[in-house]
Structure 1
Amino acid sequence: MSEVLSQSEIDALLKALDSGEVDAQEIKEDSNERKVKKYDFRNPQKIAKEQLRTLEIIHENYSRLLQTFLSGYLRAPVKISVLTVDQYAYSEFSNSISNPAFLSIVKFKPLNGEIIVDMSPKTAFAAIDRLLGGDGENVDEIRTFTEIELTLLKRMMNKVLDLLKQAWENVIELNPILEKIETNSQFAQIISPTETVALVTMNISIGKIEGMINLCIPHLTIEPILNKLSTKFWFSNKNNDHDDENTKLLEKNIKNTLITMKAQLGSTKLTVREILDLEVGDVIKLNEKQGDEVKILVKSNPKFHGIPGVKNKKMSVKITRVVKDGEETDDQ
């Protein structure tokens, strides 16, 4: 029986209850029975669906960053998309790796343990061909990598791993380090074959060449941050980071704003007649005495007090104190 009944099924059930064909007590007893759920001990489900969904969101963001970077780095049209995110036993992943392979063993600092980035050899050869000036299309022959080719790929992978920091920044501040590159899966046993891993599979096309990129992330490695792998936590952190960025940008713009600042050496009051009679050489007597503090105005508002003087043969004012909020000042 399906969990959601149609209206006709509900009407039929009510009719059967009224006629006595169905016993309500039996239905109640059936519903109280313990439900048995199948469990595969060879492939234990240690990562919740919501956590897998968060991993998918993280790596969808990573795929966009990677697509933009590789398009410029290889000078070729590159398309990358996330196909699946699921959990398996490590043996299932390692047994599916081709030979020769291109495996990057990465320390997932500050978390303990390592992850594996598996790029299909066909895609790796296409990238090498593009880096060496080719069109990246003549890669039908799959062979072992030369030392020069591995050096070029290692340089590219270091840049690719830097993008992981941005993709994971809403969950944890990562510092992934490329430990080594292996071309044989037998030398890439980072955990026990029975351990659970999260496997992120992405499709990549470089020009006309298509392949796969697999990120194998052991459960033991991300176990300390599993509670953070929820969509609610991820989006809340993303919004907080966005607010922090806006606040810092606003603060930076305010600090770089130019405003008028002037020191008022003194003041006095004159009649209009006295102002009209002023001539060159006249001396105006101010209310302030020699040695008194002067006001320093920001725009038209008193902000500081200071003492006038000379520094490097230029007139200057040394700030002595700040005008406190609510402090009474003389009329300007």
Structure 2
Amino acid sequence: MPPISEETPMLEAPVLDPPVLDDSSGLYPAYDFRRPVQLDRESTRQLEAAFESFARLWSAQLTAKIRVRAHLALEGVELVSYEEYAGSLPGTTAMVTGSFADREEPCVVQFGLDSALLWVVQMMGGKSISLPEARTFTPIELSLVKHLMDGTFEHLSASLGPMLPGEPVFGAVHYNPQYLQVISGAAAVIVARYTMNLGDVQSTATVMLPASTVVDRLAETGRGAVPGHAAGRTLDQVRAAPMDVTLRLAPLPIGAGEILDLAPGDLLRLPHPETKPFELVVGTTPIARATTGARGSRLACTITDIHEETP
């Protein structure tokens, strides 16, 4: 290659624009690297079933206690950071914490203050067709709400069962989600969101569980839910898997030159004695010895002995 002089022109590679992917159909949603951890489909299904069961129990409790037909509908279950969860709530709301024995992270049941004041009015014998103005609870109102939430936490424990580290116990009522730092803002939490109907009045509610208290138990619950006959099915599938079985003679070493010189009609002297059984082989593994025979008009082999497994 001749040396490059100052007069030699240099060719520059053209700068290509980065390819633009056309995803007008939305098949490839943007990946959020701030939340790389997600719940798998089976875990989400188990949580949704448990939170729907809780919705039915809580609806029945509210209907019996406040004498207004209550109905809760689960909107969805998601895994977010606690900071995101707190930021999605109103500036003033009721956040009731439930503590677990030997655990620092509590769970939270959240609902509107106006909804809770409607509960109180109904429990005290009053009637209301609209939500009262939201405000913090008086000591008597707080006592009534606490009594109601004791039963709510029992229903939460009954619905989620082994997914929880124990039965939550009423802790306290907080009114500002921005100041309630029950766990680290970056910690992952599982949030169930509900639409709450109290007669003709509609509001919302949420349940928050620290992911650290649920995910491991959720995995154990999923493993325990595997049917007991799964191992038998696996064995049946292995037994039914097709495999090629070969009846093999003793090998004959032969040179490459002799192979190239082979022609139709040539005879090869095989080193396998007539009285020696053949090897029955699966793949490259000998499994038994067999002798040739016949079954009707078809060739067959008779198993003479099975190779014992060796460690």
Other-structure match for 1:137: 129
Alignment of 1:267-278 (within 5 A): none
Other-structure match for 1:79: 71
Other-structure match for 1:250: none
Between the aligned partners of 2:227 and 2:189, the Cα distance in structure 1 is 26
Alignment of 1:51-200 (within 5 A): 51-109=43-101, 113-169=105-161, 171=163, 174-200=166-192
Are 2:209 and 1:214 equivalent residues in the alignment?
no
Between the aligned partners of 1:204 and 1:236, the Cα distance in structure 2 is 36
Between the aligned partners of 2:211 and 2:154, the Cα distance in structure 1 is 22
Q: CA, structure 1 residues 112+225, in 2 after alignment: closer, same or farther (shift >3 Å)?
A: farther
Between the aligned partners of 1:108 and 1:48, the Cα distance in structure 2 is 25
Q: Secondary structure at the match of 2:39?
A: coil
Q: What is the alpha-carbon root mean square deviation over aligned residues?
A: 2.6
Amino acid of the residue matched to residue 49 of structure 1?
R
Amino acid of the residue matched to residue 119 of structure 1?
F
Q: CA, structure 1 residues 79+236, in 2 after alignment: closer, same or farther (shift >3 Å)?
A: farther
Q: CA, structure 1 residues 222+207, in 2 after alignment: closer, same or farther (shift >3 Å)?
A: same
Preserved CA contact (<8 Å) 1:168 1:174: no
Instruction: Name the structure where helix makes up a greater proportion of residues.
Output: 1
Q: CA, structure 1 residues 141+38, in 2 after alignment: closer, same or farther (shift >3 Å)?
A: closer
Q: CA, structure 1 residues 81+229, in 2 after alignment: closer, same or farther (shift >3 Å)?
A: farther
> 1:145 deviation in Å?
2.3
Between the aligned partners of 1:80 and 1:155, the Cα distance in structure 2 is 20
Preserved CA contact (<8 Å) 2:165 2:213: no
Between the aligned partners of 1:197 and 1:171, the Cα distance in structure 2 is 14
TM-score w.r.t. the length of structure 1 is 0.55
> 1:183 deviation in Å?
1.1
Q: CA, structure 1 residues 135+234, in 2 after alignment: closer, same or farther (shift >3 Å)?
A: farther
> 1:208 deviation in Å?
1.7
Point out the more displaced range, 198-207 or 102-111. Answer: 102-111
Other-structure match for 2:249: none
Preserved CA contact (<8 Å) 1:46 1:196: no
Task: Give the number of aligned pairs.
Answer: 201
> 1:236 deviation in Å?
6.4
Other-structure match for 1:41: 33
Point out the more displaced range, 58-67 or 186-195. Answer: 186-195
Unaligned 5+ runs, structure 1:
1-35, 238-332
Q: Secondary structure at the match of 1:60?
A: helix
After superposition, the C-alpha distances for 1:149-199 in whole angstroms (9 at most, x for unaligned) are 112111110111111222123545731111111112133212221222111
Between the aligned partners of 1:100 and 1:120, the Cα distance in structure 2 is 8
Preserved CA contact (<8 Å) 1:198 1:216: yes
Unaligned 5+ runs, structure 2:
1-27, 229-311
Between the aligned partners of 1:164 and 1:204, the Cα distance in structure 2 is 16
Between the aligned partners of 1:225 and 1:121, the Cα distance in structure 2 is 33
TM-score w.r.t. the length of structure 2 is 0.58
Q: Secondary structure at the match of 2:56?
A: helix
Q: Secondary structure at the match of 2:202?
A: strand
Amino acid of the residue matched to residue 158 of structure 1?
D
- Sequence identity, in percent? 23
Preserved CA contact (<8 Å) 1:44 1:196: no
Question: For 1:50, which of 42, 59, 63 is the aligned residue?
Answer: 42
Preserved CA contact (<8 Å) 1:110 1:174: no
